[in-house]
Amino acid sequence: MMTTLTAADGHEFECWIEPAQGERKGGLVILQEIFGVTDQLKGVASRYAALGYQVAIPALFDRRERGAVIPFGEALRGRDLMLASDQAETMADVAAAVDHLKSDGGKVAVMGFCWGGGLAIRAAQKLDIAGGVAFYGTRLPQYLDCPLKAPVLGHFGTSDDHVPPEMLDQAKAYLPELEVHMYDAGHAFANDARPSYVAGAADLAHQRTEAFLEKVIG
């Protein structure tokens, strides 16, 4: 269901909440690609809710265009909205989603894809969370200014033109605790609604993510 949350600066934004199924283990904030709170992301939320996590997907574009959900074929529009976003404001929205899940008890982790993958690393640097998971996180050089406060699991494709090897190597050198797994795939390999989807890589990445969440939250 969609609810409204309020960030520390008073900004109100939409946030998709997927209740945990069965016994609640903790919380998981899922951070969007450059396409908004898509049906595909809601499907990811359902997957993790079935494992016992209460999931929140904050609408990180609401500060620029409320309710924006960008078709996958209009990546330039999504990129423009992302570039117009202010990182501090975006992280305030992420923090509000984390706090919302914490209010129901238990530990909270943050997982993101593409733009959200980089923000998940930022959350592990700046917020009080149990851990972060970055699926092909982009804009990595922006986050090489402070250490991690929580463990981070990273999934990257060997042929991802958004995250070239030298960029990833730089991030691994600056953040040596970053646990990185590589997959024979390109960018967005875990998005089952896009042509870039690689089922084997996605399944393995999610298996590793499930084990990671059990470790940091369980």
Which structure tokens are listed for 149?
A: 């406060």
What pTM, to 2 d.p., does this model score? Answer: 0.98
Angle at 140 between CA 138 and CA 144, to 5 degrees: 165
Structural domain total, the chain: 1
% helix, strand, coil for the chain, step of 5: 40, 20, 40
Determine contact, residues 8/89, Cβ cutoff 8 Å: no
* Domain carrying residue 119: 2-217
Percent of the chain with pLDDT over 70: 100
Looking from the CA of 161 toward its CB, the CA atoms found within 13 Å total 1
What is the residue-level pLDDT of the chain in tens, covering all 218 positions? Answer: 999 999 999 999 999 999 999 999 999 999 999 999 999 999 999 999 999 999 999 999 999 999 999 999 999 999 999 999 999 999 999 999 999 999 999 999 999 999 999 999 999 999 999 999 999 999 999 999 999 999 999 999 999 999 999 999 999 999 999 999 999 999 999 999 999 999 999 999 999 999 999 999 97
Q: How far apart are CA 156 and CA 135, in angstroms?
A: 6
Tens of pLDDT, residue by residue over 21-49, are 999 999 999 999 999 999 999 999 999 99
Residues composing the chain: 218
Q: Taking the mean position of all CA atoms in its chain, how far away is CA 44? A: 11
Closest CA to 35 of 110, 113, 98, 127: 113
Q: What pLDDT does residue 14 have?
A: 98
Q: What pLDDT does residue 218 have?
A: 76
Question: Where residue 65 sits, what CATH number does that domain have?
Answer: 3.40.50.1820
Q: What pLDDT does residue 99 have?
A: 98
Residue listed under structure tokens 């609640």: 24
Q: How far apart are CA 183 and CA 125, in angstroms?
A: 25
**Measured CA distances, 153 to 103, 135, 176 (Å):** 25, 8, 12
Determine contact, residues 96/58, Cβ cutoff 8 Å: yes
Tens of pLDDT, residue by residue over 145-159, are 999 999 999 999 999
